[in-house]
Amino acid sequence: MRALSDPAEFRDTGIFQLLGYSNEEIAEIGRITPRPVALKVLADSGSEPGQFVNIRVDCTKVSYYNLTIDRVVFEFPECHLCLEELAQGRLRFLGSQQIRLKTEVSAADIARVFDLVARARNLTSLRINLEEDRARIHGRVKRGLFVVDFNLIGDTELVDPKTVIFRCERMFLNRTVVPRNTTNAIFKQINPVFDARKTWLNLNIARINIRRGFVETIATIERRKS
């Protein structure tokens, strides 16, 4: 818990150093310290002392900038820990090849982030419903002197391991279908909704899916490319 809650301890775990990140990049780690409310650790020991086939850390309510992530699972496959440091309550990696991630972000937490964007764009009464492989977003938007209702239906799409877009299937203004060309033009300005190339982490997304009530993402943090 200390390693994932204190920025200095998180940095000093040494895992990002082992993955080839620079000192300047590692200095940014404090901003992504998970700070979970609770966690559970499962470890599968290897053949040598301090070596592990896998360490799985299941975290609840992780803070990430303005977003709360309901559940984050970190996995450290084929890793090596310093047992002397561990006995003193400090997590220190001596070897690691990658970090595996699974996140589950609830509709309520996404709505809270969207609410900040909504206020800046004159959107009100915003509601987000997540179904299996489908998101429904409802609200009101000011257009000139008028306020109109909008509804849209769509899904996330993984373009490549670095890029996620929102694919809008249908959009309505006051229950009137918005032409496809207009919808495409609107979302061309919004997409991509996530671009890992803009982060300093070498993050590769394997899957992103909308489930009932939450968005699930499975990804890896890889060794930094030189």
Q: Are residues 124 and 79 in the same domain?
A: no
Q: Are residues 9 and 93 in the same domain?
A: yes
Would you say residue 119 has pLDDT above 70? no
Question: pLDDT per residue over 57-110, tens digit each?
Answer: 999 999 877 788 999 999 999 999 999 999 999 999 999 999 999 999 999 888
Task: Tell me the mean pLDDT in the region 201-222.
Answer: 95
> What is the C-alpha separation between 33 and 90, in angstroms, rounded?
16
Q: Are residues 93 and 112 in the same domain?
A: no
Q: What's the token pair of residue 61? A: 């309510």
Total number of domains constituting the chain: 2
| Rounded-to-5 percentages of helix, strand, coil across the chain | 25, 50, 25
Q: Are residues 119 and 181 in the same domain?
A: yes
pTM to 2 decimals?
Answer: 0.88
Question: pLDDT per residue over 181-196, tens digit each?
Answer: 988 888 888 889 889 9
Q: Are residues 30 and 49 in the same domain?
A: yes
Residue 107: HSE in the Cβ half-sphere, 13 Å Cα cutoff: 16
Q: Are residues 79 and 132 in the same domain?
A: no
Rg (CA), the chain: 21
User: pLDDT grade, residue 141 (50/70/90)?
Assistant: confident
Give me the domain span that covers residue 80.
Answer: 2-97
> What is the C-alpha separation between 111 and 135, in angstroms, rounded?
12
Q: Are residues 85 and 121 in the same domain?
A: no
Average pLDDT over the chain reads: 90
Task: Please provide the DSSP assignment of 48-117 as one string.
Answer: STTEEEEEEEEEEEEEETTEEEEEEEEEEEEEEE-HHHHHTT---EEE-S-EEEEEEEEHHHHHHHHHHH
Residue 40 is predicted with a pLDDT of 97
> What is the C-alpha separation between 23 and 216, in angstroms, rounded?
31
Q: What percentage of the chain reaches a pLDDT higher than 90?
A: 66
